[in-house]
Amino acid sequence: MTTLPKPRQPELKTSLPGPKTAAIMERDAQHLSTSYMRPYPFVPDHGEGVWLTDVDGNTMLDFFAGIAVSTTGHAHPHVVKAVQEQVTRFTHVCLTDYPQEITTSLAERMVKHVEKPGEKWRVFFGNSGAEAVEAAVKLARNHTGRSHIISTIGSFHGRTYGAITLTGSKTKYKRGFGPLLPNVSHVPYPNPFRPPLGATAGTCGQAVIDHIEGLFQTIIPADEVAAIIIEPMQGEGGYIVPPADFLPKLRSLCDRHGIMLIFDEVQAGMGRSGKMYSFQHFDGQNGMNCQPDIITVAKGIASGMPISAMLAKESVMTWPVGSHGSTYGGNPVAAAAAHATLDLLEGVVKHSGCGDSLMENAAQVGEFIMAELKAMQAEFPFIGDVRGAGMFIGLEFVTPDGRPDGKLRDAASMAMFERGLLNLDCGEAVIRISPPLILTREEAATGLEIMRDALRALK
C-alpha cells in the first residue's frame, strides 16, 4: 500500500513573536508612521507560493495575500522572470508623455475582458487603488459636468481626500481630516445577511433603489449627480455579496437619470471572485445587464507590484489632453508583472495543480472552501454567515442573539494566526479569506483544519 505524502503544514520554530521579529517591531515602532496598525507580530523574510516565512524562520500559510493582492502567490517564477527582464530593459520613461508597448498591450488585454460587441473601452493607469478611484470620480465629473457623487455605507475606496470622502466603513478614516470633498452622499449597501431599510434578504436590493429614488425627490437633484460608485462585492465592509437583482436595477436607475455607474473592483476584481470582474457574476443573468461606465482595479492586478487602472467606455472618456496624468502610473516593471499575472489568470501560462487557469482555480477551490465553512456552522453556532464568491469569502461571527461579535472574531483571528494561518479581519465581525489564487484544494484543506482547531479552542 502506498502512503500519500503528508501535505505541507505551517512550521513554527519559535514562539510568536520570535526574537528577530520582536527586535524589528521595536525599531518599526520607533521610526515608522504612528498611523500604521500592527495587529499581528509577523515580519516577513521570504515567500514561496502560498507560504510566507518570517525573519525567525516561522513558516505560515497565507490566507489573506497582503489584502487580496498576491494573486499568484509569493515569488511566482513567471512573475519574477517578467520583472527581471523588464528591469534590465528600462524601468521608467513616463507614460503621461511617451507611449510604451508594454502598457499599450496591457490596456488592450484588460479591455478585452469587459468590452461587449460594438463597445470600445480605454484605460488610464495609476499606482494605487485610491488613484484609480480619484481618476474615476474626476472623469465622471468632467464628462457629465455634474458634481454630486453617491457612495455606499460600509464601502472602502482608499485614503486620498476624494477616496476617504467616498469611504463609508469607519469614521477613523475621516476623523480630524476634514473638510472633505463636498457633494458626496452615502446610501445603504444591500447586505442580505443584515438587510437595511427594514427590508428582507430578498427585497433589500429594491429597497436601496427606492431609497435613492426617494433622495432624488427630496434632497439630491438627480440631474446634479455625476456618478454612483459602488463595490459590486463589498470588501472592507465585510465581504458582502448583494442580491442578484441589485446591480442591474442600479444600472437602470443610472440610465434613467444620466448618471455614470462606477464599479470599484479594486478588491474583488482580477479573478478573485472566480470571474475577471466580480460584477460579471450578475451581468447577463436572466437577461439583465449591469455593465458599468467606469471600472477601477488595483491590488491583484500585478501580484504586488504597484499599478492600478481606471477603465472607461470610450464614449465616457472625453476628458481633454493634459487634464489628468501621473509620473509613475503604468510603470513598465509593474506592467510586466501585470502581464505575467494575467498570463496565469487567463491560463495562457498554466500553474501546476490549478486546472486551466487561476481564475478557474479560484472558482473551484473557493467553492470547496465555502462548502466546508458552511458545514462548520453546525459545529460552531457563532459563525452566523458564510458568504462570497471564488476566493473572496467572508465569515461573520455572531453573539447568541445574532448581533455581530467583533470580540469573538478578534479572538478567532488571533487563534488562527498563532497556529500558523495568516488571516485578516474586515467589517464589524468578519474574517476575510482572500488567499493567493494558486491555493490548491489540499492547501485549502490544511488552512480549514487550522481554522477548525482554532475555533474549537475558542469553545
Q: Considering the complex, state which of residue 129 and residue 388 has its C-beta at the smaller distance from ligand PLP.
A: 129
Residues 6 or more apart in contact with residue 76 via CB below 8 angstroms: 49, 303, 340, 344, 351, 438
Tell whether residue 246 is a contact of ligand PLP (CB under 6 A).
no
Q: Considering the complex, state which of residue 32 and residue 375 has its C-beta at the smaller distance from ligand PLP.
A: 32
Of these, 113, 157, 194, 432, which contacts ligand PLP (CB under 6 A)? 157
Supply the DSSP symbol for 172: G
Residue ranges in 63-92 that form contacts with ligand PLP under rule CB under 6 A: 67
**What is the β-pairing status of strands 430-433 and 392-397?**
antiparallel
Tell whether residue 269 is a contact of ligand PLP (CB under 6 A).
no
Of these, 231, 360, 396, 443, which contacts ligand PLP (CB under 6 A)? 231
Of these, 10, 73, 158, 332, which contacts ligand PLP (CB under 6 A)? 158
The dihedral of CA 237, 129, 141, 277: what is its sign? negative
CB 135 within 8 A of CB 126: yes
The SS3 of residue 71 is: coil
Q: Considering the complex, state which of residue 232 and residue 447 has its C-beta at the smaller distance from ligand PLP.
A: 232
Q: Considering the complex, state which of residue 10 and residue 330 has its C-beta at the smaller distance from ligand PLP.
A: 330
Q: Considering the complex, state which of residue 357 and residue 434 has its C-beta at the smaller distance from ligand PLP.
A: 434
Q: Considering the complex, state which of residue 199 and residue 337 has its C-beta at the smaller distance from ligand PLP.
A: 337
Q: Considering the complex, state which of residue 165 and residue 267 has its C-beta at the smaller distance from ligand PLP.
A: 267
CB 272 within 8 A of CB 437: yes
- Closest residue to ligand PLP, judged by C-beta, is 129
Tell whether residue 235 is a contact of ligand PLP (CB under 6 A).
yes
Tell whether residue 133 is a contact of ligand PLP (CB under 6 A).
yes
Q: What is the CA radius of gyration of the chain?
A: 22
Smallest distance, Å, CB 418 to ligand PLP? 25
Smallest distance, Å, CB 421 to ligand PLP? 21
CA separation for the pair 56, 15 (Å, rounded): 10
CA separation for the pair 279, 291 (Å, rounded): 8
Smallest distance, Å, CB 270 to ligand PLP? 12
Look at the block and give the residue holding cell 455634474.
Answer: 146
Which one of the spans 28-36, 177-185, 263-271, 322-330 is the region binding ligand PLP (CB under 6 A)? 263-271
Which one of the spans 16-24, 122-130, 238-246, 342-350 is the region binding ligand PLP (CB under 6 A)? 122-130
Beta-carbon count within 10 A of 1 CB: 2
Residue ranges in 298-327 that form contacts with ligand PLP under rule CB under 6 A: 298
Tell whether residue 396 is a contact of ligand PLP (CB under 6 A).
no
Of these, 21, 72, 165, 267, which contacts ligand PLP (CB under 6 A)? 267
Three state DSSP letters for 222-285: HHHEEEEEECCCECCCCCECCCCCHHHHHHHHHHHHCCEEEEECCCCCCCCCCCCCHHHHCCCH
Beta-carbon count within 10 A of 32 CB: 10
Which one of the spans 152-160, 175-183, 273-281, 388-396 is the region binding ligand PLP (CB under 6 A)? 152-160
Tell whether residue 297 is a contact of ligand PLP (CB under 6 A).
no
CA 10 to chain centre: 25
Tell whether residue 134 is a contact of ligand PLP (CB under 6 A).
no
* Number of residues assigned to the chain: 459
The SS3 of residue 368 is: helix
| Binding site residues, ligand PLP, CB under 6 A | 67, 128-130, 133, 156-158, 231, 235-236, 264, 266-267, 298
